[in-house]
Each structure stands twice: as structure tokens, then as C-alpha cells.
Amino acid sequence: MRYALVTGGSRGLGRAICLRLSRQGYPVIINYKSNSEAALETKRLIEEQGGQAELLPFDVSDKEQVEKALDGWLEQHQEDYVAVLVNNAGIRRDNLMVFMQDDDWSSVLNTNLNSFFYVTRRLLKGMMTKRWGRIINVASLSGLKGLAGQTNYSAAKAALIGATKALAQEVAPRKITVNAVAPGFIATDMTSELNEEELKKMIPVGRFGRPEEVAAAVAFLAQEDASYITGNVISINGGLYT
Ligand code: NAP
């Protein structure tokens, strides 16, 4: 059976992506770090719409945890594989570079970028053997444009876009596509303390985006029909261009 794994699937964009991929027919593996209550709510919402879901908590920034969790899942699912991988888990720790602490830098790089390497490397073998896969990386406008106060986050997301383009070329012959989405301002916990009233003045659409609007683009890239789209970045930003 073909599964979809969404990292950071407990809340925000990840929850909307889980729900959308479930409606596309995938049993969904919901990864998260610590918020079991939110992850269980995502599972409940999937089941309510007739889908199938399981929880797989691990810290995406911790190589040992990633490998242990994924090895355990693969051990229990000998006949199955993760056909759709959405690398969505992410954090931000904004500060002007002159004040930025070592941990602000390394935690953002580990969670937003190294996680991609740990999780994708482990699951790529299954996709290559089965000769079909979809890898979708959740980048950001910040990785395309660079945003003041986010040198750490912009660096991680820009690197994720570079890795997307390189891996797309490596695995294209195996019918695996690798793409990224680059959301602008989307209403989630991550952006809850931002001043939407002020910021929306510079967004042509005139509002923050909704998680479902990002999930729709991810679902599009996950389809069979999107087989000739690879190494690309889709911006979902209400016209807030770079
Ligand atoms: P969010 O509401 O803060 O949710 C973050 C999710 O990531 C949660 O499910 C959280 O799990 C999980 N997570 C965080 N650190 C983790 C770790 N070390 N291991 C495993 N899971 C971890 O964030 P969001 O707004 O949905 O953002 C999702 C992605 O979109 C991120 O990559 C973010 O950078 C990107 N993005 C967001 C926006 C925006 O405006 N919201 C814009 C551009 C890009 P727990 O529930 O267990 O904490």
C-alpha cells in the first residue's frame, strides 16, 4: 500500500495537508514532535472524513530519532511504502543577525533543513525500488526573497530549495518528482503573533493565506498527473512577490 507521510502534521499547514492527502486516498502517517493532543485531533478529522491515519512522533532534527522511528515503521509495514513525503515540519527563531545566538541558528537549520536530509534519505530507497514517488518540501517566501530578521530561516529554506532542485535531477529516471512550495504569510500558530492588519496592506490579495490553500498546491504536486513537474517551486503568497 502507498502511504503519505507528513512531517509536522499535527497543526497548521501540516494538518491541512494530511486532510487533503487523505481525501486523495492515501493512508496518512502524521508526524509531530510533542503535541499529541493536536496530532490526535488531526487523526480524528481524517477518520471523520472516512480516511485512515496513524501517528508517528519523532523529532525531525534528531538523526537517531528519525532513523529509529522510520526503521520501526518500515519493519511493521513490509508490504507498504511511503510514496508521498511532505517535509513540512519547521520552526522559526527570528532575530537580527547581530543579536542571533548559536542555538537560534542551529535549531532552525536542523529543524528546517537537516530534517529534509534525514527523513528523505531514509524513505528514498523505497520510492526508488517501487519506481514511483512524490517528495514535496515546504519552503517559504523567505527562502526566495530573504527577510530581515530571518537570516537563519531564509538560509534553511533557500538551501531546501537548492536541495529540491538537485534531488529532482537525481531521481527523475525513477519516476520520483521533487518539488517545493513557498508560502507567504499563512494563518497558523507560527504567524499568530504577527500583526496581520499591518502586514496585509502589502499583500495584493489583501489577507493572510489559509492552510488549505497551501494544501491544495501540495495535493496537486502529489497527483499522478503532475508527473512532468519536478525541481520546481510553487509560490503561494497572495501576489506578495519577491
Ligand atoms: P506551526 O503551526 O508552528 O506547526 C509546526 C508543526 O511542525 C507542528 O506540527 C510541530 O509539531 C511540527 N514540528 C516543529 N518542530 C518539529 C520537530 N523538531 N520534529 C517534528 N515536528 C516538528 O507551523 P506552520 O505555520 O504550519 O508551518 C509549517 C511549515 O510551513 C514550516 O516548515 C514553516 O516554516 C512553513 N511556512 C509557514 C508559513 C506561515 O506563514 N505559516 C510561511 C512559509 C512557510 P508539534 O505540534 O508537536 O509541536
* Sheet with 81-87, edge to edge strand ranges: 53-55, 28-30, 2-6, 81-87, 133-138, 176-183, 233-236
Instruction: Give me the pLDDT at residue 9, please.
Output: 98
The Å distance, Cα 146 to ligand 1 centre, comes to: 19
- Give the distance from CA 175 to its chain's centroid: 20
Q: What pTM does this model have?
A: 0.98
Residue nearest to atom 19 of ligand 1 (CA): 59
Separation of 6 CA from ligand 1 center, angstroms?
Answer: 11
Residue 228 bears catalytic tag:
no
Q: Among the atoms of ligand 1, which is closest to the Cα of residue 189? A: 2
Burial of 198 (0-12, 13-18, 19+ CB in 10 A): exposed
Total Cβ atoms within 10 A of residue 190 = 15
Find the DSSP H helices in the chain. Answer: 12-23, 36-48, 63-76, 102-109, 115-130, 141-145, 151-171, 196-199, 211-222
Q: Are 87 and 116 in contact (CB under 8 A)?
A: yes
Work out which ligand 1 atom sits closest to the CA atom of 36.
Answer: 47
User: What mean pLDDT do residues 62-72 have?
Assistant: 98
Which among 81, 153, 228, 241 is annotated as catalytic?
153
Q: pLDDT per residue over 96-124, tens digit each?
A: 999 999 999 999 999 999 999 999 999 99
